[in-house]
Amino acid sequence: MAVNLRQLFPLQQAKVRRSQLARYLSLDGGRYLIAAAVILSLMSLISLGQTGRLATQGYELAQMQTERTQLLRQRSALQLQLSEAASLLKIDLRATALGLRPMTPEQTHYVTIAPPIDSQDKGTTR
Amino acid sequence: MAIRTAKVNKPITIRRWRMNTVLLMAVLAIGSVGLRLGNLQIVQHDTLSQQARGEINQQIKIAPRRGTIRDRAGNVLALDVDRESVFVVPQQINQQNAPRLALMLASLLGKPAAEIQSALQDQTKLWVPLKRWLDPEIAKQIQKLADDEPGLRLIYEPRRVYPQGSLGAQTLGAVNFENVGISGVEGYYDDLLKGVTGTITAEVDAQQNPIWIAPQQSVPASNGADLELTIDPLVQHVIETELKAAVEKHSASGGTVIVLDPRTGAIRGMASYPTFDPNHYNEYPVEMYNQNPAISSLYEPGSTFKIVTISAGLQTRSFTPDSQVNDQGMIDRYDTTLGNFDQNGHGMITPGDVLKFSSNVGALQFNEMTGPAKFYQIVREYGFGKPTGVDLAGEEAGIVHDQKEPDWSPITLDTNAYGQSIAVTPLQLVRMAAAVGNSGKLMRPYILQKSCHSDVCTTIQPHQDGQPISPEVAATVRKMLTVSANHYADQDGTGSTFMMPGYQVAAKTGTSSIPENGGYSNDVIGSVVGLAPADVPRYAILVKIDRPKDDIWGVVTALPVYEAIIEQLLRYERIAPDPRLVGPGQVAGVAFRNGQ
């Protein structure tokens, strides 16, 4: 009685086909479908990964922009405080509160400084 | 052996009409879906896709920052600060809590509780503003309330803030609630300061934040330029303090002080009183924040204009410094009697004496020697009758009627000689004095010395508008004005005292009549214009006090202000006094106090 091994041992056949590269690469219809699905999956995975990464970076960027806006607000608020503190009117008030008073002209003493000797020799004046 | 018997199923029979009905229904259903799909995808494609793009793709405006304004020392005079404003969405307010919330907000916002409660309960409105630009501390407390009340919203809005308060307010100007400059530097340089709005065209989420994974088009905002003014903070502080004190002491209606650098035309200080706080400009009358009297208020300059009369005659060689005319105190011209302020004569006087004694009769006779053609030519060359070109909003041209105009009469030449029948702005007058102090070169006054945009800075160069008088004439007039200045301090008539001991300063006073109802009012404007120091002037100064109540000439009010200002400015400049210029009983650096 003849036995059809081809039906019973497809693995063996596959091994044979694998050993023959030309035949191995010539896929049948089902394998084409699987290959296409795998390629599509990989492409989707890459696309999904990139989109996710982009979304994460976009979120980080938005966070950084919010932080930047807050820092700029802080900066302008500090600049305002500084300007208010530098106001001559407020300095005047603070100085008066500390017991300081404006200098009177009589308190001003101008000191005449003679020019250096070498420049005197050259007849230059300052 | 078991025998398997197959069960024979009876064939299912469906009647054809039923199948046709189902098929027909399916065809109809699919057909209607197809039709609807076709309608949406093809017929309404453009409309719907545009609608969808409108909802998702939005153009978000990026507001530019308005430029900062600083003085020449780098102190900030105006800047943009983000402040929180509070709004309510009445439909999201828990109405049971509304009265309680209104009470709490009333104490924080300083508004009546009833007004706030009606805003909270106004269901006809989606969005009701309660108060803009809150103080940071108040905003923090309201934020705590907003955490429990979703209908209470706080959003940031840019606010123009003037940290120095009213310092230089009329020069700086103000911006309105739409952040548009309406006067002063803010108005004149509004285009430069406001910047250009940017846009982001992108897909947005529910909070209007751009979705970064979608492609977007971005045009960045261009911030406004930062401006640096020629204003010196100390000069401005000194003139504002002295002006305010004088106006209040003499119950005057107002006043103006301008300090120019004669060498460049840079405005070192410009103050008028009464003034306003640009942080709350809307609480003042319109004319207060919309006008700068230093450039827009016209007045008859009075005797200060004799500087023009004398310099015009000397420049055109119509007379010399030694020429003389007879001042008898009064003189008849064209059926009208013209006279000195006190009707007293001074005999034969020179041009220098005209300035020293402020002789109207002498001035008009010298002006007749000059003649209208030459006089008005020099008047025009000094820039009277047209705007100086200063970079400030709202400048007036002044009024000069010359011999070419049909309504001019010869007596106008005589009255113009002592500053009547002519109208000038304070800036025009101090600019004339600055030209005398700058060897006759007439500089264009300017307030902006540097503008920086995106780290690229442009420095403004001084601009000479002309040379009405020669350096020699300018030097001669300065000497005459020095004698005039010291004359005010010469109490014993010996000529050995100085207005500003240790220095030579130039000054000329003026009393201006105020035209009213075709005649002149009983009130006057007292003014002093001068240079300090006179030999190498650092400052050209004008002090003008309007309608002092206790001074019929106005000069007794204006002169002490002038002296107090130059005393402080010369010390500020650290110019050592000359001991040879100190009179008996005087102290170097201490101004003679007229009227005190």
Q: What are phi and psi of B90, to 5 degrees?
A: -55, -35
Same domain for B392 and B538? yes
DSSP 8-state code for residue B205: -
When scoring B212, B567, B568 by the number of chain A Cβ atoms within 10 A, the one with the most, hence best to mutate, is: B212
Question: Which of B170, B189, B224 is at the close of a domain?
Answer: B224
Residue B421, both tokens: 């029948």
Share above pLDDT 90 across residues of chain B, in percent, rounded to a whole number:
58
Test B81 with A80 for CB contact under 8 angstroms: yes
Q: What pLDDT, in 10s, does the model give residues B247-279?
A: 999 999 999 999 999 999 999 999 999 999 999
Q: Which amino acid is at B255?
A: G
CA nearest neighbour of B370 among B394, B346, B357, B354 = B354
Token pair 């530098």: residue = A86
Same domain for B180 and B286? no
Least confident residue range of A47-51, A61-65, B287-291 = A61-65
Note whether A35 contacts B: Cβ–Cβ < 8 A: no
Chain A residue with the nearest C-alpha to that of B81: A76
Same domain for B220 and B238? no
Least confident residue range of A80-89, B219-228, B310-319, B563-572 = A80-89
**Cα atoms found within 13 Å of the Cα of residue B285, Cβ hemisphere only:** 5
Q: Which amino acid is at B302?
A: G
Residue B113: inside a domain, yes or no?
Answer: no
- Alpha-carbon separation of residue A96 from B145, B243, B259, B354, B468 (angstroms): 40, 20, 27, 46, 47
Which B positions 55-114 lie with beta carbon below 8 A of chain A? 75-76, 79-82
Q: In which band, very low, low, confident or very high, does the pLDDT at A17 lie, cut at 50, 70 and 90?
A: low
pTM: 0.81
Q: Does the N-terminal peptide bond of residue B274 adopt cis geometry, omega within 30 degrees of 0? A: yes
Note whether A87 contacts B: Cβ–Cβ < 8 A: yes
CA nearest neighbour of B316 among B369, B374, B366 = B374
Contact B293, B170 (CB under 8 A): yes
Chain B residue with the nearest C-alpha to that of A80: B163
Q: In which band, very low, low, confident or very high, does the pLDDT at B491 lie, cut at 50, 70 and 90?
A: low
With a cut of 80, say whether residue B518 has pLDDT above it: no
Residue B589: inside a domain, yes or no?
Answer: no
Residue B109: inside a domain, yes or no?
Answer: no
Count of pairs with CB atoms under 8 A, one residue in A, one in B: 70
CA nearest neighbour of B297 among B544, B554, B558 = B544
CB neighbour list of residue B586: distance below 8 Å, 6 or more residues apart: B497, B498, B501, B592
The CA distance from B444 to B466, in Å, is: 9
- Alpha-carbon separation of residue B272 from B185, B471, B543, B544, B548 (angstroms): 15, 32, 10, 9, 15
Note whether A86 contacts B: Cβ–Cβ < 8 A: yes
Mean pLDDT of B432-440: 96
Burial class (CB in 10 A: 0-12, 13-18, 19+), A81: exposed
Same domain for B69 and B139? yes
Test B210 with A105 for CB contact under 8 angstroms: no
Same domain for B556 and B430? yes
Instruction: Please provide the average confidence, as pLDDT, over all residues in chain B.
Output: 89
Same domain for B243 and B187? no
The DSSP line for chain A is ----HHHH-HHHHHHHHHHSHHHHHS--HHHHHHHHHHHHHHHHHHHHHHHHHHHHHHHHHHHHHHHHHHHHHHHHHHHHHHHHHH-HHHHHHHHHHTT--PPPGGG----PPPPPHHHHHTT---
Residue B140, both tokens: 């923090």
The CA distance from B176 to B182, in Å, is: 7
Residue B56: inside a domain, yes or no?
Answer: no
CA distance A120 to chain B (A): 21
Same domain for B153 and B260? no
CATH number at residue B90: 3.90.1310.10
CA distance A45 to chain B (A): 16
Domain count, chain B: 2
Same domain for B510 and B421? yes
Q: What pLDDT, in 10s, does the model give residues A90-103?
A: 888 899 999 998 87
Which B positions 162-181 lie with beta carbon below 8 A of chain A? 163-165, 167
Mean pLDDT of B381-403: 93
DSSP 8-state code for residue B548: -
Q: What is the pLDDT of residue A126?
A: 35
Note whether B214 contacts A: Cβ–Cβ < 8 A: no
Question: Which of B196, B224, B252 is at the close of a domain?
Answer: B224
Q: Which amino acid is at A14?
A: A
Q: What is the pLDDT of residue B584?
A: 82
Question: Which of B162, B192, B224 is at the close of a domain?
Answer: B224
Strand B464-466 relative to strand B456-459, pairing = unpaired
- Alpha-carbon separation of residue B356 from B200, B452, B498, B540 (angstroms): 69, 47, 14, 19
Residue B20: inside a domain, yes or no?
Answer: no
Q: Does the N-terminal peptide bond of residue B533 adopt cis geometry, omega within 30 degrees of 0? A: yes
Q: Which domain holds residue B376?
A: 233-581
CB neighbour list of residue B39: distance below 8 Å, 6 or more residues apart: none
Residue B36: inside a domain, yes or no?
Answer: no
When scoring A78, A108, A109, A112 by the number of chain B Cβ atoms within 10 A, the one with the most, hence best to mutate, is: A108
Which ipTM score applies to this complex?
Answer: 0.72
CA distance B295 to chain A (A): 25
Chain A residue with the nearest C-alpha to that of B589: A105
Q: Give the closest of B76, B165, B589 to A89, CB-based.
A: B165
Q: Give the closest of A62, A77, A79 to B76, CB-based.
A: A79
Same domain for B152 and B290? no
Higher pLDDT, B285 or A11: B285
Same domain for B200 and B328? no
Mean pLDDT of B157-166: 91
With a cut of 80, say whether residue B419 has pLDDT above it: yes
Test B76 with A82 for CB contact under 8 angstroms: yes
CB neighbour list of residue B93: distance below 8 Å, 6 or more residues apart: B101, B120, B121, B149, B151, B152
Q: What is the pLDDT of residue B487?
A: 87
Residue B111: inside a domain, yes or no?
Answer: no
Higher pLDDT, A89 or B430: B430
Test A110 with B163 for CB contact under 8 angstroms: no
Q: In which band, very low, low, confident or very high, does the pLDDT at A66 lie, cut at 50, 70 and 90?
A: confident
The CA distance from A44 to A33, in Å, is: 16
Same domain for B550 and B491? yes
With a cut of 60, say whether residue B5 has pLDDT above it: no
Test B80 with A108 for CB contact under 8 angstroms: no
Note whether A93 contacts B: Cβ–Cβ < 8 A: no
Q: What pLDDT, in 10s, does the model give residues A24-50?
A: 666 667 778 888 999 999 999 999 999
Contact B106, B113 (CB under 8 A): yes
Q: Give the closest of A73, A89, A105 to B82, CB-based.
A: A73
Chain B residue with the nearest C-alpha to that of A70: B82
Q: In which band, very low, low, confident or very high, does the pLDDT at B125 lie, cut at 50, 70 and 90?
A: confident
Instruction: Please provide the average confidence, as pLDDT, over all residues in chain A.
Output: 78
Q: What pLDDT, in 10s, does the model give residues B177-196?
A: 888 999 999 999 999 999 99
When scoring B68, B81, B234 by the number of chain A Cβ atoms within 10 A, the one with the most, hence best to mutate, is: B81
Residue B215, both tokens: 């492609």
Q: What is the pLDDT of residue B435?
A: 97
Chain A residue with the nearest C-alpha to that of B579: A110
CATH number at residue B313: 3.40.710.10
Test A59 with B589 for CB contact under 8 angstroms: no
User: Which of chain B's residues have a Cβ under 8 Å away from the Cβ of A106?
Assistant: 587, 590
CA distance B75 to chain A (A): 6
Residue B498: inside a domain, yes or no?
Answer: yes
Same domain for B182 and B269? no
Strand B69-70 relative to strand B226-229, pairing = parallel
**Cα atoms found within 13 Å of the Cα of residue B551, Cβ hemisphere only:** 29
Count Cβ neighbours within 10 Å for each residue of B111-130 and write b for 16 or more, e otherwise.
eebeebbebbeeeeeeebeb
